[in-house]
Copies of this chain bind each other. A is one copy, B any other.
Amino acid sequence: MPDSHTIALDAMGGDFGPAAVVPAAALALKQQPGMKFIFVGDERRIKPLIQKERALAKASEIIHTDKVISSDEKPSAALRNGRQSSMRLAIDAVREGRAQGIVSAGNTGALMATAKLVLRCLPGIERPAIASVMPGMNGDTVMLDLGANVVCDEHMLVQFAVLGAVYARAVKGIENPTVGLLNVGTEDMKGNDQVRAAAAILSKVDFPGKFVGFVEGNDIPRGSVDVVVTDGFTGNVALKVAEGVGALASRFLKDALTSSLMALAGAALAQGALKRLKDRFDARGYNGGMFLGLDGICVKSHGSMDSYGFSRAILVASNLIKNGYNKRVAQEIEQIMGQEKKILETMTPVPAGDA
């Protein structure tokens, strides 16, 4: 029997609203039969699109609202004025147990603030983190935090390590995932106080993965470890640099292959290979920023995503639900907290280091 779970969809978020979200749900349903959907938004725009897809129509219900949180609304304003918004009502559906997860392509700051307020954190987690999967030479890496917390102390970094490791184990099926802490070098004395203190704790606790110590920026595209842990400032910059260099490489390649008739002819011959190369770098396949650590599954789709890209984000949420991600985090974090307390009591202060 296929897994049955319900995902609430903010149908109005992102650049395309229902025109991307409804077909995305139809695509996800083909991949994962048994899913159910609650579409939240303008019924007049959603309903006709759903009715085009018989299987989807059977698996869907609609919560109507006219209110939408705009992409430039401040998080605090969204909390105050957005109680009837499609985003908020979709998150409410998770809190009320009508859905097990929510996906939105709307305003990231508003989504995080609302999800935190409505769903709250899992016990033992101070702040949720944004995590995403990134492609690498030796396989994918999940990285967190990508921007939810610009300042992180060592305890938050330790919690992020648990959130990432449980993801790699529960969702990706890696029995003993490797976890690295992002730093400017791999020696013990490198980095700032937070990363050195977090490393000292992680090297002592028993958690659902193997802590390999510090990793560097190039270890992300290299795919050296299964999980890369960092603060939201560094993680956000790293993600955007990676996306930008990818775009630059693709642009330079296009320039080169259209620079002469010979190059154009070569590109025509190699077009199959070049198409596969493009697919390999296709950002849509990696769409779906997971808000980990909340008491409810919440996934952010990039605002510019088409229906294929948005369907990937739905499947990311579905995988977290199916694999009981939050239950497993709750178990692990309780264990870690006990250990961390003991370790901190016996730890000598970490010495200040060179750059």
- Interface size grouping (class) on chain A: 35 or more
Q: Given known contacts A263-B272, A273-B266, is B232 in contact with A184 (CB within 8 Å)?
A: yes
A355 part of interface (Cβ distance < 8 Å) = yes
Interface string of A30-54 (1 = CB under 8 A from B): 0000000000000000000000000
Which B residue's beta carbon lies closest to that of A353? Answer: B150
**Residue of B148, B233, B268 touching A191 (CB-CB under 8 A):** B233
B-contact 0/1 string along A194-226, CB 8 Å cutoff = 000000000000000000000011111110000
Chain B residues contacting A273 (CB-CB under 8 Å) are 256-257, 259-260, 262-263, 266
B contact residues around A59 at 8 Å (CB): none
Q: Check: A1 CB closer than 8 A to any chain B CB.
A: no
Of B136, B236, B257, B355, the residue contacting A184 (CB under 8 A) is: B236
Partner of A217, one of B218, B240, B252, B277: B240
Distance in Å from the Cβ of A138 to the closest Cβ of chain B? 10
In contact, B259 and A244 (Cβ under 8 angstroms): no
Residue of B at shortest CB range from A255?
A: B277
Q: Does A342 contact B (CB under 8 A)?
A: no
Contact call A239/B252, Cβ cutoff below 8 A: no
Residue in contact with A249 in the complex, picked from B236, B238, B249, CB distance below 8 Å: B249
- A218 and B247 form a contact (CB under 8 A): yes
B147 close to A355 (CB less than 8 A): yes
Note all chain B residues with C-beta closer than 8 A to A74.
Answer: 354
Cβ of A104 within 8 Å of any chain B Cβ, yes or no, is: no
Q: Which residues of B contact A237 (CB under 8 A)?
A: 182, 184, 216-217, 230, 234, 237-238
Q: Is the Cβ of B355 less than 8 Å from the Cβ of A150?
A: yes
A252-B269 CB under 8 A given contacts A191-B233, A217-B239, A234-B234:
no
Is there contact, CB below 8 Å, between B221 and A247? yes
Q: A218's contact among B232, B240, B269, B281, by CB below 8 Å, is which?
A: B240
Q: Is A350 an interface residue (CB 8 A)?
A: no
Residues of B within 8 A of A266 (CB): 265-271, 273
Q: A292 to chain B: closest CB distance in Å?
A: 15
Instruction: Say yes or no: A259-B241 contact (C-beta < 8 A), given A184-B150, A218-B247.
Output: no
Q: Please encode chain A, from 115 to 153, with 1 for each CB lying within 8 Å of some chain B CB and 0 for all others.
A: 000000000000000000001110000000001111100
Copies in the complex: 2
Complex CA gap A280/B245 in Å reads: 13
The smallest C-beta distance from A189 to any residue of chain B, in angstroms, reads: 8
| A274 close to B (CB within 8 Å) | yes
Q: How far is the CA of A354 from the CA of B147 in the complex (A)?
A: 10
Say yes or no: A277 contacts B260, CB within 8 Å.
Answer: no
Whether, in the assembled complex, A285 has its beta carbon less than 8 Å from a beta carbon of chain B, the answer is no
B232 touches A252 (CB 8 A): no
Instruction: Give the residue name and chain of the B residue nearest to A277 (CB).
Output: B256
A63 interface contact, C-beta 8 A: no
- Interfacial chain B residues near A255, Cβ < 8 Å: 277
The minimal Cβ–Cβ distance linking A193 to chain B, given in whole angstroms, is 8
| Residue from B76, B232, B265, B355 in contact with A232 in the complex, judged by beta carbons closer than 8 Å | B355
Cβ proximity bits A279-316 to B, threshold 8 Å, 1 near / 0 not: 01100000000000000000000000000000000000
- Beyond known contacts A216-B236, A249-B249: 6 more, CB 8 A cutoff: A184-B237, A216-B240, A218-B240, A241-B242, A249-B281, A256-B273
* 10 closest Cβ pairs, A-B complex: A217-B240, A266-B270, A266-B269, A218-B244, A263-B273, A221-B244, A249-B249, A256-B277, A217-B241, A245-B245
